[in-house]
Amino acid sequence: MEDPGYRPLKELLKALGARVIGVPVDSEGLVVEALPAEARVVYVTPSHQFPLGVAMSLSRRRALLAWAERNNAVVVEDDYDSEFRFGGRPLEPLQTLDTIGRVVYVGTFSKTLLPALRLAFMVVPPSLREAAKKAKFVTDWHTATTAQNALARFMDEGAFARHIRRVSRIYGERHTILTAEIKRNFGDYLDLVPSSTGLHITACARGALVDHIDAIASRAFDLGVAIDTMSRSRVDRRPPAGLVLGYGAIETARIAEGLRRLRRCFDERMSRRLKAA
């Protein structure tokens, strides 16, 4: 899996007895050349890499599919929030490029609707359909049919598409405000990772260690600002120092005040660091 990556999945896979190997990510996504030949499942977030936010390039996507075919492996494509895209052309999922049946495409309604629904979806190659059905059956028999039927009707009537268009405008405004404020007011501390998809942005710390950023995040939490750090996305390698800033659950009008408090945390921590030096 990608490193840095979605750490809860690492813990789940380890609990199931799998050997999890972190594979580095660069500006084009997962580095295919670094995949171990013995891997049988590769987990990726190509539309909006978590946590860096980069999109996997088309050449890298094709290289990954070719690698999977050569090594008789399955690629699990987690498309967890690409419904929200604020610029550029729509990205083709790996699943649509897959002509040989190597990709298992998974998504969720937790981001587009609400996590409490506990509804998601999976598109599997024909060769894996029966196995996927049996795995679902022995896991929890079936998902609540009432919620599934209500959601299906919501989609059939076009209400889901209208909902996505409406909330995309809201999230797009938050994305614009947050990125502009980070560039304008945190340029001495943070380098923003370019991203135009999803519900979070990532910024790498300039001249700060992981421990410093973790301390800043802890202090920000005390001030009512919840942020994540790159260190919590570690799989194998020590990730760079940086912040993951989500904007899906904060009101647009509160972003500026949250960033003012975060800036205060940076100033306090960095001034103490300079004095200590």
Please list the residues that pair with 197 across neighbouring strands: 85
Q: For a pLDDT cut of 90, what percent of the chain falls above it?
A: 81
pLDDT at residue number 276? 55
Confidence class for position 240, pLDDT limits 50, 70, 90: confident
In the chain, which ranges are continuous DSSP H helix?
Answer: 7-15, 58-70, 94-97, 129-140, 145-156, 159-185, 210-222, 255-276
Confidence of residue 169 (pLDDT cuts 50, 70, 90): very high
Check residue 270 and give its pLDDT: 79
Average pLDDT, stretch 252-270?
94
Give the span between the Cα atoms of 38 and 36, in whole angstroms. 5
Give the pLDDT confidence of 69-122 residue by residue, as tens digits: 999 999 999 999 989 988 777 778 899 999 999 999 999 999 999 999 999 999
DSSP 57: P
Sheet holding 2-3, edge to edge: 2-3, 23-26, 29-30
Residue 71 near residue 107 (C-beta atoms within 8 A): no
Judged against a pLDDT cut of 60, whether residue 17 lies above it is answered with yes
pLDDT beyond 60 at 48: yes
pLDDT for position 20: 96
Q: Which residues are CB-neighbours of 128 under 8 A, at least 6 positions away?
A: 74, 101, 104
Does residue 206 carry a pLDDT above 60?
Answer: yes
Averaged pLDDT of the chain:
92
